[in-house]
Structure 1
Amino acid sequence: VEVNGVRGNVALMLEKCKHDPTLELTICKCLTYGHLISDLQKLMTTKGCGPMMIRLSFNDAGMFNGVDGCPNAAMRLAGGGEHAMAANAGLPQVAIPLLQAITEKYVPGLISHADLWALAANVAIKVMGGPDVVTHFGRFDSLTCDEGAQSAAGRLPEGDKDAQHLREIFGPKGFTDKDIVALSGRHTVGACHGDGSGFEGAWTDDTLKFDNSYFKDLLNKKWTLETMKSGKKQYWSGKTMMLPTDMALVLDAKFK
């Protein structure tokens, strides 16, 4: 037990605190990876924020380039760069604050911001019924956001584009057509919000269930192209939707 930074016998310290209410008593407990996983699981189940954690990790990793690498959690730093990018709308304002309590508890003592975001996404996948995904650690956190949003643009996919756009975005990162299709499967959870991307609606009926519904619906449902109030075009089938980049997976022969 530790009292005001001084360690000692449990019984003696408790007795000392009893007679001096100004003393601060803390139980020294070593936080472990197991504690972190448990806290992340609790966050996902109580807040239903799994899809947002996947998007946070995906967008952080998607900023990779051959000059400064990534992911490095630069989005957490206000003042420009990734924090200000339209493609990341909502993440600095909602996703990162949701992780704040866990961040204060475990960063930097046990894990970096960037590693935490990656781990949170993988825990989210598991909590929502998906597979166990191994998290590899060792990412360093960015200390500045000195890269402007303009120079960082074009590294993440835009939902209103075509198959060629997907290859131009993911090809330089080393992804094949098969990889791109697999990555698109993240849309089996979550939804779009008009005030962020200009797109509206969910890809699947259950936005918190990680399964193959996205691919099944993409192939089997009848889709109708519509124009949203924002001017963006997307496909609808009942209450679910698909973006042009989603439809590119079935309209392009090599992707399909």
Structure 2
Amino acid sequence: MSLRTLALASLLLAPAALAQPPTPSDAEYDAFAGDLLSVIKERGCGAERGTAGHSLAAVWLRASFHDIGTWFASNTSFGSDGSLLNELERAENKGLVRADMPDRHTAHGLGNISAADSIGLGAVVSIAACGGPQVNFFTGRSDLLGFDTGATNPAGLIPLPEQSNATIIARMQSMGLEDVDIVALSSGSHTLG
């Protein structure tokens, strides 16, 4: 291979290599999780203050479902991609913006952690903070292509409470959930907070 060909190849490949976001360190994930754990423990899980359904932990858990719940099993599209942070004005995401959510736990304060990872880690930390089981967390989720410029997943992928049972079940089945999963998710999803 000629030197000229190598030089040309390196110029063509350089933008792709430079465009890759920095990989967050374990210390960044630990700091994010530790800080969020402290905030949730300080504010409580809701029941102890008579604010069931309104705790920060419940919001993180719901946010995680709303980010993941756009996934289609048939073509593995959408899903846990952080796009939720660009979709907070939608009806299905009402209540996911909290005035007391520290800015450092939103897209503006994540450092090198993807929005998708922060939402997932927020749910795992919330479960632990409120006495739930230890849940393994695997890093490396990528944000939706164009996330930084406001890209979103299509609207209407998260079922609304006023939709018919048949519509809600069909949408959840498109996520790959079976009847037993739908019952467990529907009956237990709002118990935290």
TM-score category (smaller protein): 0.5 to 0.7
How big is each residue's C-alpha offset from its partner over 1:38-91, in whole Å with a ceiling of 9 and x where there is no partner?
1121121123410010111111111224474222112323xxxx2331111132
- Identity fraction in percent: 30
| Residue 90 (1) aligns with residue 132 (2) | no
CA offset digits 1:80-117 (Å, max 9, x no partner): xx2331111132x327x715224555431xx2111111
Instruction: Compute the TM-score of the two structures, normalised by the length of structure 2.
Output: 0.66
Higher fraction of helix: 2
- Cα distance in 1 between the residues matched to 2:137 and 2:102: 18
Structure 2 counterparts to residues 56-75 of structure 1, below 5 A:
56-65=63-72, 66=75, 68-75=77-84
- Cα distance in 2 for partners of 1:112, 1:146 equals 14
What does 1:52-201 align with in structure 2 at a 5 Å threshold? 52-65=59-72, 66=75, 68-77=77-86, 82-91=87-96, 93-94=97-98, 98-103=101-106, 106-108=110-112, 111-142=113-144, 143=147, 144-147=149-152, 151-153=154-156, 155-184=157-186, 185-189=188-192
Q: Which has the larger radius of gyration?
A: 1
Aligned positions, number: 150
Match of 2:189, SS? helix
Aligned partner of 1:33 among 15, 29, 32: 29
Cα separation, 2, equivalents of 1:145 and 1:83: 11
Say what the alpha-carbon RMSD is for the aligned residues: 2.6
Higher relative contact order (CA 8 A, sep 6+): 2
**Secondary structure at 2:81's aligned position in 1?**
coil
2:93 maps to a residue whose letter is: N
| Greater per-residue strand proportion | 1
**Contact 2:66/2:93 (CA < 8 Å) preserved in 1?**
yes
Q: Distance in 1 between matches of 2:184 and 2:30?
A: 29
Task: Note if contact 1:157-1:166 (Cα within 8 Å) is conserved in structure 2.
Answer: yes
Unaligned 5+ segments in structure 2 are: 1-25, 45-55
CA distance in 2, matches of 1:162, 1:135: 34
For residue 70 of structure 2, give the secondary structure of its aligned residue in structure 1: coil
Provide the rounded CA distance (Å) in 2 between the counterparts of 1:84 and 1:106. 21
Q: Check 1:178–1:36 CA distance in 2 against 1; reply closer, same or farther (3 A cut).
A: same
Match 1:44 to one of 24, 40, 45:
40
Give the aligned residue type for 2:91.
A
Tell me if the contact between 2:70 and 2:175 (Cα under 8 Å) persists in the aligned partners: no
In the aligned structure 2, how far is the partner of 1:187 from the partner of 1:146? Answer: 28
d(CA) in 1 for partners of 2:166, 2:38: 40
The amino acid of 1:83's aligned partner reads L
